[in-house]
Amino acid sequence: MGVMHPPLPRREFLKLLSRFGAACACGGMAVRLAAEQATPGGPAAPQKLPELKTLAYCGLICDDRCPLFKVTRTNDAAAKQKVYEEWKWKEKFGIEFNPDQVFCYGCKAPGKPENIPHSRCTVLKCSAARGFDSCVQCRKLADCDKDLWKNYPDFHKQMVKLQQAYAATDGFILS
């Protein structure tokens, strides 16, 4: 059984989420979704949703907007230490800084090692076990009580909204 960690204060969560995004691009996803909303008094703009296969299992998009994803590519030890400290990996995961442990290729990178947050992510494990590209495909998402959603309820609400946006498109099926 995994170790339970107390929920972060909202400010710390938002800071972590905007940088880590799993997890890397939640802020980017929110900006994209907000930008694609209808303008006041105008017609609704068609939503351009990312392909499900490009989403992380939790619904994020992992790319260079995420500092951890970026420092993994550059392999800059000083930048890795900064991410380690800002994201409080010692407190959260009980590990001393080791640049070889501070990395992220995304949770779907074939042949790449799993980082410590991914090894403890119940959303990743559930979504992968069910064969989903992302948990937004799960009809139980709104009522899901996995640790990630309990600890980050605003992120959960955002993913439920993303699911609703997908559900409004042709051919999207909840499983």
CB 50 within 8 A of CB 61: yes
- Residues whose CB is less than 8 angstroms from the CB of residue 168 and which lie 6 or more positions away in sequence, other chains included: 47
Q: What are phi and psi of 12, to 5 degrees?
A: -65, -40
Nearest to 73 by CA among 47, 45, 97, 106: 106
Q: Write down the pLDDT at residue 156.
A: 95
pLDDT at 31 over 50: no
Q: Write down the pLDDT at residue 82.
A: 96
Nearest to 121 by CA among 148, 145, 141: 148
pLDDT at 34 over 60: no
Could you tell me the two tokens for 42?
């105008």
pLDDT at 15 over 60: no
**pLDDT tens column, 44-101:** 445 589 999 999 999 988 888 888 999 999 999 999 999 999 988 898 888 899 999 9
Q: Write down the pLDDT at residue 155.
A: 87
**pLDDT tens column, 98-151:** 999 999 999 999 999 999 989 989 999 999 999 999 999 999 999 999 988 887
Residues 56 and 52: their CA atoms lie apart, in Å, by: 8
Between 164 and 47, the higher pLDDT residue: 164
Q: Counting every residue, how long is the chain?
A: 175
Residues 139 and 132: their CA atoms lie apart, in Å, by: 11
DSSP state of 8: P
pLDDT at 38 over 90: no
- Indicate the pTM of the whole model: 0.66
Nearest to 55 by CA among 23, 33, 16: 23
Q: Write down the pLDDT at residue 9.
A: 61
Residues 7 and 24: their CA atoms lie apart, in Å, by: 18
Q: Write down the pLDDT at residue 103.
A: 95
